[in-house]
Amino acid sequence: MLVNKEAIRGVITLIPNRHGDSRGYFTETFRQDLFAEAVGPVSFVQDNQSMSAEVGTVRGLHFQLNPRAQGKLVRCLAGAILDVAVDIRRGSPTYGQHVKVELSVDNGQQLWVPPGFAHGFCTLTPNTVIAYKVTDYYSPEHDRGLRWDDPALAIDWPVAEDKAILSAKDRVQPLLSELDADFVYAG
């Protein structure tokens, strides 16, 4: 498994090895020992999966507050997404900056989004399915979000603002300047 450190410290892209032949391919999508070597000790407690039917569906930017913060290991099972992680750790030299990576069933890449980041994605193909492991259980009282199209974030999404397909919740998330996140950069 190849590990690429992204521009923001703590965010990494994992590229599993694929072994192919005339039948298709085989790949190890997760190995605890290799993952711990790359990011440190992490325990996953829940696996999530979502399907988005239409191109231009935006989900996020989401996170959970402490003490129920979640790290996420995201991969695409069908189709393709532009996956985005935004640094929301106060005091971080990269606060408000983002990493974006295309994840697809074809490239097999995965994105590790550590706690202290808001996470979201936009579908690039119809009927896109993603799966992600999380380090804490979903907690409605700790569930928060950040506005996907906040100009302060300067995310170049692959969909026009008026064409994005959003949930009612994601339409009214706060701007970065209004965020009540409790994450602090540890250095």
Neighbours of 78 (CB within 10 A): 14
Cα–Cα dist 35/158, whole Å: 30
Contact 57, 122 (CB under 8 A): yes
- 174 DSSP 8-state letter: P
Give catalytic residues, as residue numbers. Answer: 62, 132
Residue 176 vs residues 58, 95, 129: alpha-carbon distances, Å: 18, 10, 28
H helical segments located in the chain: 32-39, 168-171
Locate the DSSP E strands across 44-187.
46-52, 58-64, 72-78, 80-87, 98-104, 110-113, 117-123, 128-134, 143-145
